[in-house]
A and B are shown apart, each in its own frame.
Chain A
């Protein structure tokens, strides 16, 4: 019996810059100050277009990257201060990563059972029990390289759980899957979240996928743009007081537009200068 337990995640003013990789190229500022709190056991989707920085956030949470500035906390662990060996231990016990490409989550030549055992490590949980709980027992003896993409992702999720991870990070797990497989994988993630109680952070560019999670955080241009909770969209006030407009308003009010902020009780209104004049 696997004990359900999750771990919280906290990002405080996280900045990450990728150094230039060639002549004539500039450094890339992927994150410009991310503030994010994920409660233990919460299921959060990070939504954003390509290049918004969401995968960078995931990389930081997985300990594969170190923040250029700010702090990343996985439970009590400050990722930026941890030694590589400690990070490796963290990945082996607390954090599990599910990659976008299903085949890269698994050893293609090994069976499902062997992949789960490989991920579990020496202290590993029972592969058969886990597979059975996740409804994957029928695939136990099949070679993962011959499974479909959806099946592979499901096995990847099982492998991620086998080490007893408290935080499951999924990087666009459904982007390469068809609709049916996508649904299946999302259902499994929900099951994992519900049954095992682990914290799930899912990165996606697909709003429909993000809608399946209770909470959605939108990342735009390296910042948290908005959050969606129980179907309602909220703009997030940044540490510096900045606020990102929803995308549809961004088109109407491009950068440089002057907006007067009016407050009436708990309502806040933004009036463009031209309207004010009239």
Chain B
């Protein structure tokens, strides 16, 4: 007891040193504890969000069974109630509410399809507007809705005539009329009993509201009518905590096991024959667990590194404090106290401080998380102190105690003579130090290898070596720097010994004399590496979430638009609305069974669409160029078309020439010249009226009718003609230049077509394939297959991973084939399943007007005009809905991994404080220890300014080297660790990870650290001056 009393007195006597140990212990244990507490809050928040976002039917449990008419073997109602009753004992669920219903048709004035139902607690959840609620065991009463009363012209006392779906008539006396209380609320949600006024299937009576009866009314009819028996067990989300997930799973599993057992007893493998247990709760819990596991890895990384640093610092401070008791230990040995007593004496103070710090630190961690949780997590959350936090706090205490024990052991085993000679400074064994340094480097290398080969996770759990690898790398690098420092210092000593750089000489001399003090570099390096790692991680995470959000939306802002009448090419309207090129026309089709297709304006995509580096092995420019249309369409603008035809070779049958036009609205029109006489001739055809403003020539068909008796014979007929064209517009004729360029035309692939140029005309040689099939000459602007970029998952489902011919749906909802020229990891908006084509090419491939299912969009970059909607409206394009990528980003920011990122920022801040604090404290302690030396130097004429500069240079070099080593280690560590962190590995939907260094942030961090360090150094410079006084000469002697 005397030892303990003395320890408490000593703590008070050395208040400053004790406070330092206490504060460091609090910080260390705080750093270790805050992670588990925050993670628990994250878990709770993620769970609460998932439960809140889920619908009632998803998170509640519905047990149901249809009764079997005439079956007397099982009391189905009891069975359902029994299964639901298994939840009754679980405080996480509300009392089961049972419901029975029979499907009926009301046979009154208006046939209505509805239900006759019995619902537990009915009368509390309806408002009786006339009469009364059904009650007791009445079997002939009913409560009808106000809608039913009005539709069927019924009132209290009337009779509701119903017929079940199996033809059984049920007549019930109306005793009351109700309106439901909160029909969309949690009570009524499971059963959907109020459908009056909603559209119903064709050829059936309209839906109506249910009419309610007592349970006895249905039970009495169970042998004649088929009922649906159900019990809804509502989850109480406000009572569900993350720690309850196991219990929830167990309860659901138990119910499912009971169902399986009952079906086994019933002799069937079909569990639905027993009852159906419907809930999406396991899926919700799985999604929650997945998201929290992503967060857990990140939080583990952040916490482990910070805890390692904090423990490191705690070890140093506690060990120093324990060693400082050397004179007292020597005195105890001189007084002949036993070894156990001496050990207790040397441990009592630091251990007492660490033990006192533990609850304070734990409480502080809880308070900090509680204060910041709402802000960081964006949701109010109850912050608890989980068991893991207790364990971590205990580990922190153990770390501190271990430090004291190790330091105390060295003092206790040191002979008393050596203790007294050396005072408080007990030197470490150089060999032991070398072994420790070698071990640190070895572990760091092992950690890097583990990280490089296995990633952060090992069988789904964070690999400790990998998690700590970045920090261990900083330790190893600092150790190497420390070992090299004496060589550099010796050289500097030689250079500065007789020079005018006295301050530098004193500084490097001190580093050389007392290499132990330079070990503070380890702390600085580790702290800076943690800060750099944390900043890099936060920046990477945030940046990649932004890219994902952008990719999910497609662009910064997406306007869902409806082109008005006359707008056939959205690109034109967008170009006119925004000549600056900050917006882009997009069309999107998505039909079940076929890949989604997105058509983009490749001329504007680069400045508007979402595309991250590394998304494709080809550059974006080459991709866009490859998708674009290569051939201009054949267009005619006018009222008439004159065709100059020189029919050179032809079969005996009359030759017809059909010109297929595609109107601006993609309506197809045909004009036929028949017959085309042999030799040269000109033929005028009137153009479709839409061609007055321009239309396209889609195809030319040279055909000759095959007589019926020859249709089944295989024969080859050939038509060889030269065709030119002129179009009449503005009162004159103009040649159609496209007929002079054979490259503007192609065969349709259904037969042999030779296309050439004959003077200013088109030379065509078409050969009939069989029967009456003649190949067409098609505008080359209409692609055989749309050039496309195919997303990775889409390519993966194609046979043999071949992407050359993929069937999709065009803008006219017709089947179209795309030719995958490029592969990409992901495509904007459609993700990893889909194809992207050029808008113009997609339009050219249309054979009919655009389908109503095609969605048109205008994508906007962040620089787009703010009044884009109005501009588009002036072009007769109307905005129906707006999607912002910020909405996606907000959802991503509201996720577990994003919450974990916030911890990284706190970690960076804490590490920065520790780095600077450790260096500053080291400087103060060094100066105090060297008070005599500094006083002596001043006494012999060294100016205080030189002394200040010397200590500043000394600590500045420790801090500077530590800063550089730490920055490098932190950045290398983040580049190695992040790609294998689950949140970045799990990119099943998003774009590839972009790893770039956040130079601006890192520069700000570095500059900030240096500035704060300089400020702190100036602030404590006064301590140097005060320490180097002549009075220290006498005090030092003591």
Which residues of A are in contact with B by a Cβ distance under 8 Å? 59, 62, 64-65, 84-85, 88-93, 96-97, 99, 101, 103-110, 114, 117-119, 121, 143, 145, 159, 163, 176
Contact = CB atoms under 8 A, between A and B. Distances in A.
A163 B335 contact: yes
Q: For the complex, would chain B's binding face be called helix, strand, loop or mixed by DSSP majority?
A: helix
Contacts of B89: none
A107 B328 contact: yes
Contacts of A62: 334
Nearest to A88: B336
Contacts of A107: 6, 10, 328, 331
A91 B415 contact: no
Given A64-B417, A114-B6, A108 B336 contact: no
Interface in B954-968: none
29 contacts: A59-B417, A64-B334, A64-B417, A65-B417, A84-B415, A88-B336, A88-B337, A91-B333, A91-B334, A91-B336, A93-B336, A104-B331, A104-B420, A107-B6, A107-B10, A108-B13, A109-B10, A109-B13, A110-B10, A114-B2, A114-B5, A117-B2, A118-B2, A118-B332, A119-B335, A121-B335, A121-B336, A143-B13, A159-B335
Nearest to A64: B417
B1002 interface: no
Contacts of A88: 333, 336-339
Contact of A109 (B12, B330, B331, B336): B12
Interface in B1-53: 2, 5-6, 9-10, 12-14
A55 to B, nearest CB: 11
B335 A91 contact: yes
Contacts of A84: 415
B335 A92 contact: yes
B416 interface: yes
B844 to A, nearest CB: 90
Interface string B331-355: 1111111110000000000000000
Given A88-B338, A101-B1038, A163-B336, 10 more contacts: A64-B417, A91-B336, A92-B337, A92-B338, A93-B336, A96-B335, A104-B331, A104-B420, A106-B331, A107-B10
Contacts of B339: 85, 88
Contacts, number: 71
B771 interface: no
Contact of A92 (B6, B331, B336): B336
B327 interface: yes
Nearest to B342: A88
A97 B334 contact: yes
Contacts of A108: 13
Contacts of B1038: 101, 103, 176
A186 to B, nearest CB: 21
Nearest to B419: A64
A140 to B, nearest CB: 15
A89 B415 CA distance: 14
Contacts of A109: 6, 9-10, 12-14
Q: What 4 pairs between A and B have smallest CB-CB spacing?
A: A92-B336, A109-B13, A64-B417, A91-B336
Contacts of B334: 62, 64, 91, 97
Contacts of B330: 104
A110 B6 CA distance: 6
A118 B6 contact: yes
Nearest to B6: A110
A263 B612 CA distance: 113
Among B2, B14, B332, B334, the most chain A Cβ lie within 10 Å of the Cβ of B334
Among A65, A88, A91, A101, the most chain B Cβ lie within 10 Å of the Cβ of A88
A65 B420 CA distance: 12
B417 to A, nearest CB: 4
A231 to B, nearest CB: 34
Among B5, B10, B335, B338, the most chain A Cβ lie within 10 Å of the Cβ of B335
Contact of B9 (A85, A105, A110, A163): A110
Contacts of A117: 2
B916 to A, nearest CB: 31
A119 B328 CA distance: 12
A145 B13 contact: yes
Among B415, B416, B1038, the most chain A Cβ lie within 10 Å of the Cβ of B416
A187 to B, nearest CB: 24
Contact of A64 (B9, B13, B332, B415): B415
Contacts of B12: 109
B334 to A, nearest CB: 5
B14 A121 contact: no
Contacts of A105: 331
A275 B9 CA distance: 71
Given A64-B415, A64-B417, A101-B1038, A89 B336 contact: yes
Contacts of B417: 59, 64-65
A98 B416 CA distance: 14
Among B6, B336, B337, B415, the most chain A Cβ lie within 10 Å of the Cβ of B336
A118 B327 CA distance: 15
A93 B810 CA distance: 104
Nearest to A106: B331
Contacts of B416: 64
Contacts of B13: 108-109, 143, 145
A206 B440 CA distance: 54
Nearest to A111: B9
Among A97, A105, A107, the most chain B Cβ lie within 10 Å of the Cβ of A107
Among A89, A101, A109, the most chain B Cβ lie within 10 Å of the Cβ of A109
A176 B335 CA distance: 22
B427 to A, nearest CB: 11
B704 to A, nearest CB: 114
A96 B337 CA distance: 12
A114 to B, nearest CB: 6
Contacts of B9: 109-110, 114
Contacts of A99: 420
B335 A118 contact: yes
Interface string B405-421: 00000000001110010
B5 A121 contact: no
A90 B12 CA distance: 33
Contacts of B14: 109
Nearest to A92: B336
A96 B334 CA distance: 8
Interface in B757-812: none
A101 B416 CA distance: 16
Contacts of A104: 327, 330-331, 420
Contacts of B332: 118
A140 B612 CA distance: 80
A178 B87 CA distance: 88
Among A64, A91, A97, A121, the most chain B Cβ lie within 10 Å of the Cβ of A64
Interface in B822-874: none
Contacts of A103: 1038
Among A85, A103, A110, the most chain B Cβ lie within 10 Å of the Cβ of A110
Contact of A121 (B6, B328, B337): B337
A140 B624 CA distance: 94
Contacts of B331: 104-107
A106 B332 CA distance: 10
A217 to B, nearest CB: 22
